[in-house]
Amino acid sequence: MASFFQHLRYVLVSNPVTLLAFSLFACMLLVAIFGPALVPYDPLASAPTGALKPPSLQHWFGTDQVGRDVFSRVVVATRLDLLISFSAVALSFFVGTALGAVSGFWGGWTDRILGRLLDTIMAFPLFVLAMGIVAASGNTIENIVIATAIINLPFYARVARAEVAIRRNAGWVQAAKLSGNHDARILFARVVPNILPPMMVQISLNMGWAILNAAGLSFIGLGVRPPTPEWGIMVAEGASYIVSGEWWLALFPGLALMIAVFTFNLMGDGLRDLVDPARRT
């Protein structure tokens, strides 16, 4: 454990961009964990007499069309958006990596069947496919997570398949087989840990994309249902008020989305270096 933290410190110090990304990510986690307990107003409490008030010392991000505090809603929405993103990416990562690793290691009919399945998923525009899944199964948080995981599945499966196929005939794999290790043990205990560095970059990119996907579904009415605080819903509700001058309704949740995607896009190189065995030497 001590060596891990030493390596983490080395990765952060050696790359200022990675340090910035991890710092922003830590701030988002703190907001998601403690924010709902610290916000100054109830994010669901309406006050019609205080509707559409611009940003002020009392309401830092202003109020929306029914008088709810925008700052409180943006902060509370952080937990839900990160939860959807983490859950969807974790599900697609574990399932996609397992399928891709099995396909690349053994090949044959397993590889052909998985290849056709992935081709079928990739044949659809991914956001349209997510819309269809959510529309057919219902716009609950669980279905949004599943839909987002399904459209992300090909990315991990294809990367894992390619990386495993390169390594399956390596000398150290053959030596492990000659030592009496079972193929499944070699695959998941030896080969899969060595393909994690490129997978980490994909995870980072998909985290931001998963947040945008959830926000996009909410924007068109197929995501999280109002009045639940969620960045996509808030942008959708505020878009119609921009022309009348209430710019803060869409600006602040939009900025939160931008910062989250920006952070996850910057984290890719740092996550790769963190799990790369060659960087620890």
Q: Does residue 52 fall inside a structural domain?
A: no
What average pLDDT does this structure show over 77-83? 92
Note the pLDDT tens digit of each residue in 95-124: 999 999 998 888 788 888 888 888 888 888
In 3-state terms, what secondary structure has residue 222? coil
Note the pLDDT tens digit of each residue in 9-65: 776 777 788 888 888 999 999 999 998 888 999 998 888 888 889 999 999 999 998
| 161 closest CA partner among 123, 125, 117 | 117
Q: Does residue 49 fall inside a structural domain?
A: no
Q: What is the pLDDT of residue 2?
A: 60
CB 69 within 8 A of CB 63: yes
Q: What angle do CA 81, 83, 89 make, to 5 degrees?
A: 100
Q: Does residue 106 fall inside a structural domain?
A: yes
H-helix or E-strand containing 5?
Answer: helix 2-14
Give the whole-angstrom CA distance, residue 62 versus residue 57: 9
Could you tell me which residues come within 8 angstroms of residue 240 by beta carbon, excluding any fewer than 6 positions away?
none
Residue 119, exposed/middle/buried by CB under 10 A (0-12, 13-18, 19+)? exposed
In 3-state terms, what secondary structure has residue 63? strand
> What's the total number of domains in the chain?
1
Q: Does residue 51 fall inside a structural domain?
A: no
Q: What is the pLDDT of residue 69?
A: 93
Range of the domain at 133: 2-43+57-280
Residues, the chain: 281
The CATH number covering residue 273 comes to 1.10.3720.10
Q: What whole-number percentage of the chain has pLDDT above 90?
A: 32
Residue 9, exposed/middle/buried by CB under 10 A (0-12, 13-18, 19+)? exposed
Q: Phi and psi of 52, rounded to 5°?
A: 55, 40
Note the pLDDT tens digit of each residue in 259-273: 998 898 888 767 766
DSSP-H helix ranges across 63-219: 70-106, 108-123, 126-137, 141-167, 171-178, 183-186, 192-194, 196-219
Q: Does residue 50 fall inside a structural domain?
A: no
Q: Does residue 154 fall inside a structural domain?
A: yes
